[in-house]
Amino acid sequence: MPELPEVETLRRDLRERVLGRTFVEVWVSPDAPRLVREQSPEEFRKALMGRRIDDIGRRGKYLDFILSDGQHLVVHRRMSGNFLHRRDGAGPDPYLRAVFRLDDGSELRYCDLRKFGSMWLVADPALVLAGLGPEPLDPGFTPAELERRVGHRAAPIKSVLLDQRAIAGLGNLYSDEALFAARIHPQRPARSLSRKEFRRLHGGIVAALEQGLRNRGSSLGSSLRDHVNLDGVPGSNQDRVQVFQRTGEPCYTCGTPIRRMRLGGRSTHYCPRCQPSGAMEARG
């Protein structure tokens, strides 16, 4: 699923490929009525035509295309959204929901099997992005900042990590990986964590995200459903995860079978030995 490393990988690839290009035609599938949020498909098309892509940013899991008229095309891929960059005349792609033809003859195609993805064309991106928590890879994101933002909450730490208002960009995979790296049980109430544990958790979050970035993201399902790059190629971080979707397989650190539990409505994976829940062990 696209989390921070997958969206950032896409942002970097898009900058290489489409920066400075101009939209010459835009099509939105009538089969995706919820994709464009702020205007009708026709208004969306007219507003984009002739606009140039001046820069591409990211905030949490949102992409931000900054256009030559000052407008922002903000995109969230949710679960199964992918951009593909195709030359003119390339064959069809399944689950195609929108096409952006560019002035070099290429096409930016948006494919999304589950149709959860969203696009907003807005003058002020804060309309969409306000309320997001800090960027976990920014230098200003420190263990103290993490503790200040979530240290009072009674919910399980795993649920809090998924809350985009607390920290922007973590999803199910990188939350589980960060907690394993920090040796913290996912069910621990956030407010029960010690200062030392917040330091470990901060390090775990940064390490999990940076590993994902180094491996160009994680791609777990088939390429039709999960993250791929502009050429349809998956990332490789799924081969390096420690706990995510490894239920029953031995922990790489201690050999104990990885367990799965349900938390915050999500599957949660952890090592019961490396991530102890008891008060005695938690002090470690």
Partner DNA sequence: AGAGTAGCCTGTAAGC
Partner DNA sequence: TGCTTACAGGCTACTC
Residues interacting with DNA, by CB under 7 A? Answer: 1-3, 31, 33-34, 60-62, 76, 78-80, 113-116, 152-156, 159-160, 162, 164, 171-173, 190, 222, 224-225, 245, 260, 262, 264-267
Q: For residue 255, give Cα distances in angstroms to 177, 261, 271.
A: 17, 19, 9
* Percent of the chain as helix, strand, coil, to the nearest 5: 30, 25, 45
Q: Is 2 one of the annotated active-site residues of the chain?
A: yes
Structure tokens at 96: 């195609």
Smallest gap from Cβ 97 to DNA, in A, equals: 10
Smallest gap from Cβ 25 to DNA, in A, equals: 24
From 15, 21, 37, 266, the catalytic residue: 266
Q: Is 97 one of the annotated active-site residues of the chain?
A: no
Q: Is 46 one of the annotated active-site residues of the chain?
A: no
What span, in angstroms and rounded, lies between the C-alpha atoms of 276 and 185? 6
Nearer residue to DNA within complex by CB, 63 or 251? 63
Smallest gap from Cβ 33 to DNA, in A, equals: 7
Sign, CA dihedral 186-188-193-196, equals negative
What is the full DSSP assignment across 22-66? BEEEEEE-TT-TTSB-SS-HHHHHHHHTT-BEEEEEEETTEEEEE
From 2, 5, 125, 156, the catalytic residue: 2
Nearer residue to DNA within complex by CB, 224 or 282? 224
Report the amino acid identity of residue 159: S
HSE at residue 74, side-chain half, CA atoms within 13 A, is 21
SS3 of 100, please?
strand
Smallest gap from Cβ 246 to DNA, in A, equals: 11
From 45, 51, 58, 61, the catalytic residue: 61
Nearer residue to DNA within complex by CB, 107 or 176? 176
Q: Is 266 one of the annotated active-site residues of the chain?
A: yes
Nearer residue to DNA within complex by CB, 77 or 85? 77
* Residues classed as catalytic: 2-3, 61, 266
